[in-house]
């Protein structure tokens, strides 16, 4: 079985990037969506990304931004992967892949559950992320009850994960990976390197 994919999101300092990489993260995320306490610009992300080994994905997080802007920022920041966290269509994901990026499309659990069967089948071929309704807010949802039919393809679980709950959720829901931001912070937007290491250790203990 493939190893659990672990993404640590919302990084903005060299120290937190180094902590995530040293602890064994598979991906580090930089938020380009405006209005977040974690938003960075392309220049900072490009410089942080230089310390990331080639086998660790650098993920740019966007939400309902025009595709041209996403392409422009992702290219300037030199991220390997684009995460679309709004209502973006499958066509955007395909265009980004054609441009050479790996992709991740986030759905709130409500939006995912509401997808018509035919559309859900299309998304099964994509890497998707199932999040709580309010992204980046550290809010949990009762995934065991709500996700009656989990995605069939590669999918990440997010939304209020932390070192204390991640192992149990991985064992119960068997996602392909996990993604965390608030749960490894000492205060909103400020990463705690000890919590990053604790989170990755806890997630790996569930494999």
Ligand X SMILES: O=C(O)c1ccccc1N[C@@H]1O[C@H](COP(=O)(O)O)[C@@H](O)[C@H]1O
Comparing CA positions, the residue from 119, 178, 188 lying closest to residue 154 is 178
E-state strands within the chain: 5-8, 27-31, 57-62, 81-84, 102-108, 128-131, 155-157, 177-180, 185-187, 190-191
Q: Within its chain, how far is the Cα of 184 from the centroid?
A: 13
Binders of ligand X among 6-65, rule CB under 6 A?
Answer: 9-10, 29, 31, 33, 36, 38, 61, 63
Nearer to ligand X, 98 or 196 (CB): 196
Give the largest CA-CA distance in the chain: 44
> Per CB under 6 A, does 105 bind ligand X?
no
Positions marked active-site: 9, 131
Which residue's CB is nearer to ligand X, number 121 or number 186? 186
Instruction: Write down the least CB distance from residue 46 to ligand X, Å.
Output: 19
For ligand X, the binding residue among 26, 88, 179, 198 (CB under 6 A) is 179
- The least CB distance from residue 129 to ligand X, in Å, is 6
Q: How far is the CB of 106 from ligand X (least distance, A)?
A: 6
Which listed range, 43-51, 67-75, 179-187, 198-206, lies at the site for ligand X (CB under 6 A)?
179-187
Specify whether the CB–CB gap between 161 and 4 falls below 8 A.
no
Q: Is 194 left (phi over 0), alpha (psi -120 to 50) or beta?
A: alpha
**Residue 170 Cβ vs ligand X, minimum distance, rounded to whole Å:** 14
* Binding mask of the shown chain, residues 117 to 156, with x at each position contacting ligand X by CB under 6 A: ------------x-x---xxxx------------------
CA–CA separation, 13 vs 28, rounded Å? 12
Strand partners for 185: 191
Among residues 20, 158, 197, 200, which is the contact residue for ligand X, using CB under 6 A?
Answer: 158
Please report the DSSP string for 153-167 in residue order.
SSEEE-SS--TTTHH
| Residues lying near ligand X in the complex (CB under 6 A) | 9-10, 29, 31, 33, 36, 38, 61, 63, 85, 106, 129, 131, 135-138, 158-161, 179-183
């Amino acid at each position: 079985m493939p190893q659990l994919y672990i993404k640590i999101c919302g990084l903005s300092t060299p120290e937190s990037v180094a902590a995530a990489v040293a602890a064994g993260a598979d991906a580090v995320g930089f938020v380009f969506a405006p209005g977040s306490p974690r938003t960075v610009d392309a220049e900072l992300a490009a410089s942080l990304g230089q310390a990331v080994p080639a086998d660790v994905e650098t993920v740019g997080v966007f939400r309902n931004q025009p595709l041209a802007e996403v392409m422009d920022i992702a290219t300037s920041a030199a991220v390997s992967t684009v995460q679309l966290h709004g209502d973006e269509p499958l066509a955007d994901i395909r265009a980004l892949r054609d441009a050479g990026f790996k992709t991740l499309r986030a759905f709130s659990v409500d939006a995912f559950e509401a997808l018509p069967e035919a559309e859900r089948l299309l998304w099964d071929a994509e890497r998707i992320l199932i999040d709580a309704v309010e992204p980046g807010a550290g809010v949990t949802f009762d995934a065991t009850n709500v996700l009656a039919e989990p995605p069939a393809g590669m999918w990440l679980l997010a939304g209020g994960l932390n070192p204390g709950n991640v192992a149990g959720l991985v064992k119960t829901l068997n996602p392909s990976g996990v993604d965390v931001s608030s749960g490894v912070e000492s205060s909103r937007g400020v990463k705690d390197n000890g919590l990053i290491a604790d989170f990755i250790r806890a997630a790996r203990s569930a494999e």
